[in-house]
Structure 1
Amino acid sequence: MADRTALTAAVERLAGRLRSLPQRRLQSGAAVAALELARWLAREAELLEFPGRPPHELPDDGIFVVGDQLAVAGHALVAALETAGAADPERADALLREALRRLAAAAKAIG
C-alpha cells in the first residue's frame, strides 16, 4: 500500500503554498483548482466513511480560505483511509494513489 504519510505531506505542502499566494494568483485560477481538488478529497472521504449516504459538497467560502479547506479535506481523507484500509485495502490503495496523482497535478498547475 502507498504511504498515507506521503498524502499528508503533499496536502500540507500545497495548502501552505495556497496560503502564501498573492490575491491575483488566487483569482487567476489557483483558488478554483484548489477548491475542485478539496471538493474531490472531501467527497471521497465521506464516501469511505458513510457509504450509501450522498456526500455533502464543500462550500466555496472564498479564495482566502481554500488552502485551509484543502488541508481539512486532505486530512479527512487520510483518516478515512486509515479505517477503510483494513476493510478494503485494494480500494484504499487505489484511492490513495489517485489522491496523490491529483495533488501532484494540482501542485504543478498552481506552481
Structure 2
Amino acid sequence: MLDTSELSAAVERFADRLRSAPQSRLQRGAAAEGLALARELALLAQRIEGLEGESGGRVMPDAGVFAVADQLLVAGTDLAEALRTAPAGPRERELGEAVRLVRESAARSGV
C-alpha cells in the first residue's frame, strides 16, 4: 500500500493555515487559492477512482471563504484514500504531483 502520510500532512498544514487566516487575507486570494487546489485534488481523486465520466468530473462548489479549509481537507483526504486503495499500478507519480501541488498552492496563498 502507498504511504500517503506526506500528502495528508501537507493538506492538514495548509487547511490549518487557512482556518487561522484573517478574513481580509482569505478575501484577498487565499481562499480562492485553497478552493482551486481543493477542486484539483477532488478531480484527481475522481480520475483515480474512475468516477470522472464524460463531463470531466464533479466540481466542488464555492461554499465561501470560511468553508474552504474544510473543503480542502475533505478533498485531500479523499485523494489520499483513492491513492491508497487504487488498483495495482504505480501511483507514486500522482502522489508526488499532489504533494507538489499542495506545497505550491500554500506558498502562493500567502497564509
Query: TM-score of the superposition, structure 2-length normalised?
Result: 0.90
Do 2:7 and 2:98's aligned partners in 1 also have CA atoms closer than 8 Å? yes
Do 1:35 and 1:66's aligned partners in 2 also have CA atoms closer than 8 Å? yes
Hey, which of these two has a bigger chunk of helix by percent? 1
Higher relative contact order (CA 8 A, sep 6+): 2
Query: In the TM superposition, what are the counterparts of 1:25-44 in structure 2 within 5 Å?
Result: 25-44=25-44
Q: Which amino acid aligns with 1:44?
A: L
Q: Deviations over 1:11-64 (max 9, x none)?
A: 101001101111000000001111000000000001111256241000001000
Which residue number in structure 2 is paired with residue 55 of structure 1? 57
Distance 1:28 1:2 in 2: 36
Which ranges of structure 2 fall in alignment gaps of 5 or more residues? none
Query: In the TM superposition, what are the counterparts of 1:6-45 in structure 2 within 5 Å?
Result: 6-45=6-45
Which residue number in structure 1 is paired with residue 89 of structure 2? 88
Do 2:43 and 2:52's aligned partners in 1 also have CA atoms closer than 8 Å? no
Count, aligned residues: 108
- Structure 1 stretches of 4+ moved >6 Å: none
Deviates most, 92-101 or 49-58:
49-58
Do 2:2 and 2:84's aligned partners in 1 also have CA atoms closer than 8 Å? no
Which ranges of structure 1 fall in alignment gaps of 5 or more residues? none
Identity of aligned residues (%): 48
Distance 1:75 1:3 in 2: 13
Distance 1:80 1:2 in 2: 10
**1:109 CA displacement:** 1.6
